[in-house]
């Protein structure tokens, strides 16, 4: 086993120059490819990474306990404890390999899940590079994008939950920033393919950025969230926030600043009115005439992905209620408003 210091340091099992297995990068608690750790009274980990050195140690908490770690010829990690009663070593941990144990089995932009059949799945927004090879369970060619990126006009991201993060040999790290700031760094750099939290302790901090293809992603219990760059048409959208924004536009009130009663915000009030068959009373009284409009929501404050739908609304009143364009400059028949980290667009 070896810790590779390139990019974000990660633990590898190698046979000569060949990578057999990758435990992933260190996230402040564990290697990202390890299952969620259980409380362990025997030992604690200490990971050190700086400009001079990178190493991992584990300290036995009870000096009377003898413990050792072994790596079998087949690549199985085993932990042993000496038992005074029997004068023998007792194995209490063993990491058994499965098919997903193999390095980059599924190729680029795909994840491996041993509980699925087939075990390899392309990321959302991607398709097998060779469908013929994929159908015979040869996944080495990986996956390619269904839709090309368009950085100048805006891309988005898809969230992949509970995974071993991709190979970080060519990644970049930024410490002490939030996940929102990390996202902004990635979306502004057209070469950035994905981002994730660097250190998951205390709510998470720091930023991991990938600038090459993403390899060796595996679904693991207690894994991390990975945000993969995709074309705007493939991106995730927060439907709940979209609905709240539309409600604020239609009612002319803000969800966080409206209180019909001490216990109801605008959303709660709207639900109460709806269940009482009084939904039409939510409409802003200044809206007297209606006509068909397209309404869209920008996915976030740094992306440019939009979704459009039709509603009946008064274009003239809407554009007066919204700040048009950037820096107050007018855009004919189009308005936008920032709220809850998203932008709502209205055009006639």
pLDDT of residue 326: 36
Cα of first residue to Cα of last residue in the chain, in angstroms, is 62
Q: Per-residue pLDDT for 313 more than 50? A: no
Give CA–CA dist 133/139, Å, rounded: 7
Contact 172, 185 (CB under 8 A): no
User: Which residues fall within 8 angstroms of residue 224, CB to CB, at 6 or more apart?
Assistant: 27, 32, 162, 163, 164, 165, 196, 197, 200
* Tokens 């010829």 belong to residue: 73
Contact 42, 33 (CB under 8 A): no
Evaluated on CA atoms 100, 31, 234, 154, the torsion sign reads negative
Query: Nearest 5°: phi and psi at 235?
Result: -75, 155
| Residues paired with residue 310 on neighbouring β-strands, in sequence order | 294
Residue 94: CB atoms within 10 Å: 12
DSSP 202: G
Q: Per-residue pLDDT for 283 more than 80? A: no
Give CA–CA dist 27/173, Å, rounded: 12
Q: If we measure between CA atoms, which residue out of 219, 222, 225, 224 comes closest to residue 114? A: 219
- 110-114 LR contacts (CB < 8 Å, sep 24+): 110/139, 110/142, 110/143, 110/217, 111/160, 111/163, 111/217, 111/218, 111/219, 112/217, 112/218, 112/219, 113/218, 113/219
Give CA–CA dist 237/216, Å, rounded: 26
Parallel/antiparallel/unpaired status of strands 77-83 and 67-71: antiparallel
pLDDT of residue 233: 80
Helices 239-251 & 266-275, crossing angle to 10 degrees?
80
Burial of 244 (0-12, 13-18, 19+ CB in 10 A): buried
Give CA–CA dist 330/307, Å, rounded: 22
Tell me the per-residue pLDDT of 84-124, one tens digit each, with 9 for 90 and over.
Answer: 999 999 987 777 778 898 999 999 999 999 999 999 999 99
User: Which residues fall within 8 angstroms of residue 117, CB to CB, at 6 or more apart?
Assistant: none
pLDDT of residue 257: 55
Is the peptide bond between 55 and the residue preceding it cis, with omega within 30 degrees of 0?
no
pTM here? 0.69
Q: Where are the domains of the chain?
A: 2-95, 102-232, 239-347
Q: If we measure between CA atoms, which residue out of 27, 3, 5 comes closest to residue 13? A: 3
Percent of the chain with pLDDT over 70: 69
Please give the residue that has the higher pLDDT: either 340 or 155: 155
Least confident of 163-167, 183-187, 239-243, 342-346: 342-346
Tell me the per-residue pLDDT of 186-197, one tens digit each, with 9 for 90 and over.
Answer: 999 999 999 999
- 280-285 LR contacts (CB < 8 Å, sep 24+): 282/247, 282/250, 282/251, 283/250, 283/251, 284/250, 284/251, 284/252, 284/317
């Amino acid at each position: 086993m070896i810790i590779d210091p390139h990019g974000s340091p990660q633990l590898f099992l190698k046979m000569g120059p060949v990578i057999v297995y990758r435990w992933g990068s260190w996230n402040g608690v564990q290697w990202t490819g390890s299952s969620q750790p259980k409380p362990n009274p025997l030992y604690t980990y200490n990971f050190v990474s700086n400009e001079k050195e990178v190493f991992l140690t584990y300290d036995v908490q009870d000096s009377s306990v003898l413990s050792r770690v072994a790596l079998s010829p087949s690549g199985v990690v085993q932990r042993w404890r000496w038992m005074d009663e029997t004068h023998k070593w007792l194995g209490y941990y063993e990491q058994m390999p499965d098919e997903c144990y193999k390095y980059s089995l599924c190729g680029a932009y795909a994840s491996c899940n041993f509980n699925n059949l087939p075990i390899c799945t392309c990321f959302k927004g991607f398709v097998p590079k060779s469908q013929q090879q994929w159908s015979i369970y040869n996944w080495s060619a990986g996956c390619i994008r269904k839709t090309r990126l368009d950085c100048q006009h805006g891309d988005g991201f898809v969230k992949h939950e509970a995974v071993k993060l991709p190979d970080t040999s060519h990644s970049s790290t930024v410490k002490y920033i939030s996940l929102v700031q990390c996202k902004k760094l990635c979306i502004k750099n057209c070469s950035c393919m994905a981002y994730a939290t660097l250190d998951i302790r205390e709510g998470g901090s720091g930023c991991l950025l990938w600038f090459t293809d993403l390899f060796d992603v595996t679904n693991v219990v207690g894994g991390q969230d990975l945000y993969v760059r995709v074309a705007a048409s493939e991106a995730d959208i927060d439907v709940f926030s979209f609905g709240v924004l539309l409600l604020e536009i239609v009612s002319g009130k803000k969800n966080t600043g409206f209180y019909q009663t001490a216990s109801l915000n605008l959303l709660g009030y709207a639900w109460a009115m709806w269940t009482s068959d009084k939904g039409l009373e939510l409409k802003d009284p200044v809206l007297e005439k209606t006509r068909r409009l397209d309404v869209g929501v920008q996915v976030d404050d740094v992306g440019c992905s939009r979704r459009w739908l039709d509603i009946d609304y008064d274009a003239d009143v809407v554009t007066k209620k919204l700040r048009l364009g950037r820096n107050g400059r007018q855009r004919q028949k189009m308005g936008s408003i920032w709220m809850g980290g998203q932008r709502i667009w209205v055009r006639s």
